[in-house]
Amino acid sequence: MSRNDKVFDITVILMTLFSSLEVVCDKNDIELIYDVDPTVPREMKGNSDMLLHLLIQILTFVFQNTKEDEISLKVSAPEDFFYEETVIFSIADTNISDKKISSFIEKSLKDNLQSLNADIKINHSDIMVEIPLKVEDIGNRRHYRLPDISMLGKKVLLICDKKKVACSIKKMFKYFLYEVDVGLEEYRKHGSNLSRYDMVVISDIMTTEKLEALIGRIQQKSSLKYVIIQSADAVKTVHREVETAYLIKPAMQESIYELIISLFKDDIVAREIKSTSVHTIINMSKYINFPMKVIEQNYIESTKKEIRKEQQIQSIEDEAKIVVLDKEFGMKNAAQIGMNYKSKLEIFLKKFQKSDIFFRETVKDKLVWNTKEFLIDLEKETRFIGAMQLASLAEKASLLFVYDKLDDLELYVGKYHMELKKLTLEIERYLKEEKA
């Protein structure tokens, strides 16, 4: 395998990037935040060494020239990632002049961009790098399946000194259908009842001895998890009298997944059920250390516009351009694993021919985890056989879980019935022609 076609894990690249930039982040007092879309495959193929070097160059330049104290690196990819697609690495709101960015690109990045066959765009201090990357495993999305359904749907109180960090962590918890209250205003809206929550997640800079004594008293009566957001080098230096877990920066979806499992695995074994009758009314503002920059925690509205934009469903005209069954694509996938395409289609029909009834019932009965598992499996199987319209529908429906739009699942019941019917007829027609 050539250097330009090496398989790499995007999570490993991002964590290596963070380690490489940790010194310059600390020096300039800047928080690096990651926002990786669910559509980005876990493993891709390309020149990972050159990609890492390019990202280090760009972010080092940004850190040295911005006045912002939070910089977010967003990674996004098309919903239908077939073989080679454009992956976008974007840094928004740098507040660096376009002229200065252009000069940096001209002097320092031209050769690297050319080597990666990449394109870079600037728009009002936003930097977007578009890089073509390949994927080997069709349908290899970054899905995280918790080992027990009781780990889903917990309630979190998130108190953070940085706005973008709070938005990012909230989004990652909501992937697992968690209800997240951000800051003291939302806490007060729900009656200032600390017993309402399964988990309190707080920035290390905002903790106090009074807060931890309070958490300790509550933990003696109920299973309240206490999580501190902080850097890796600070975890071992502070002794705490309260049972504590840590969310290490930069937080990623993998971090949240591992945190949830570690926090609730013992509760599952013991089959503990949280009481909803207990009320612990606490004025949390008396227990928290507020840095000078933190006045209030009104973070929720800042992401709504972006989420609505990402949640727009593709128009009927665009959907019509996607083929019902790309037989050539499906044959290629089957050949790669040494399987007969005709046999694969027959197996698919046996498994999914009546699945529209199952989908309708799980949505109707609000069996959230069953529905999510079904959609993940459906997307992978349809993408493999080349059923592109149905794969696209499955992925759009799956994104409703990420953006907490579960009420919209009902809109997909009828759509799925119609698309499945079209695909079934197409497969049966093809199998009939093959027998003739």
Higher pLDDT among residues 200 and 274, named by residue: 200
The neighbour count for residue 257, using CB atoms within 10 Å, is 18
**Under 8 Å between Cβ of 48 and 116:** no
3-134 — its CATH code? 3.30.565.10
Tell which residue, 379, 266, 275, 351, has the closest CA to residue 38: 379
Residues 6+ apart with CB under 8 A from 310: 37, 399, 403
Q: How far apart, in whole angstroms, are the C-alpha atoms of residue 115 and residue 54?
A: 10
What's the pLDDT score for residue 229?
A: 94
Token pair listed for 57:
């160059």
Q: How far apart, in whole angstroms, are the C-alpha atoms of residue 373 and residue 376?
A: 5
Strand 31-36, strand 70-76: pairing: parallel
Give the mean pLDDT of 215-221.
88
Token pair listed for 85:
């697609």
Rg of the chain, C-alpha, whole Å = 24
Token pair listed for 68:
């912002």
149-302 — its CATH code? 3.40.50.2300
Q: Which residues is 159 bridged to in the sheet?
A: 202
The verdict on whether omega for the bond into residue 291 sits within 30 degrees of 0, i.e. cis, is no
Angle CA(209)–CA(213)–CA(219) in degrees, nearest 5? 140
**Confidence at 278, pLDDT banded by 50, 70, 90:** low
What's the pLDDT score for residue 401?
A: 78
Q: How far apart, in whole angstroms, are the C-alpha atoms of residue 65 and residue 107?
A: 16
Q: Which residues is 71 bridged to in the sheet?
A: 32
- Tens of pLDDT, residue by residue over 99-140, are 999 999 999 998 889 999 999 999 888 999 999 998 866 555
Q: Is the predicted pLDDT of residue 273 greater than 50, yes or no? A: yes
**Confidence at 307, pLDDT banded by 50, 70, 90:** very low
Q: Which residues is 203 bridged to in the sheet?
A: 229
Cα dihedral 363, 368, 371, 375 sign: positive
**Confidence at 308, pLDDT banded by 50, 70, 90:** very low
**Under 8 Å between Cβ of 241 and 179:** no
Residue 403: Cβ-neighbour burial (10 angstroms; 0-12, 13-18, 19+):
middle
- Tens of pLDDT, residue by residue over 35-70, are 998 888 888 899 999 999 999 999 999 999 999 989
**Confidence at 210, pLDDT banded by 50, 70, 90:** very high
Low-confidence winner among 172-186, 232-246, 322-336, 400-414 (lowest mean pLDDT): 232-246
The residues spanned by each domain of the chain are 3-134, 149-302, 311-435
What's the pLDDT score for residue 27?
A: 85
Q: In whole angstroms, how far apart are CA 255 and each of 122, 172, 208? A: 31, 9, 24
Residues 6+ apart with CB under 8 A from 296: 183, 184, 185
Give the mean pLDDT of 317-321.
48
What's the pLDDT score for residue 127?
A: 95
**Confidence at 158, pLDDT banded by 50, 70, 90:** very high
Token pair listed for 193:
């009842």
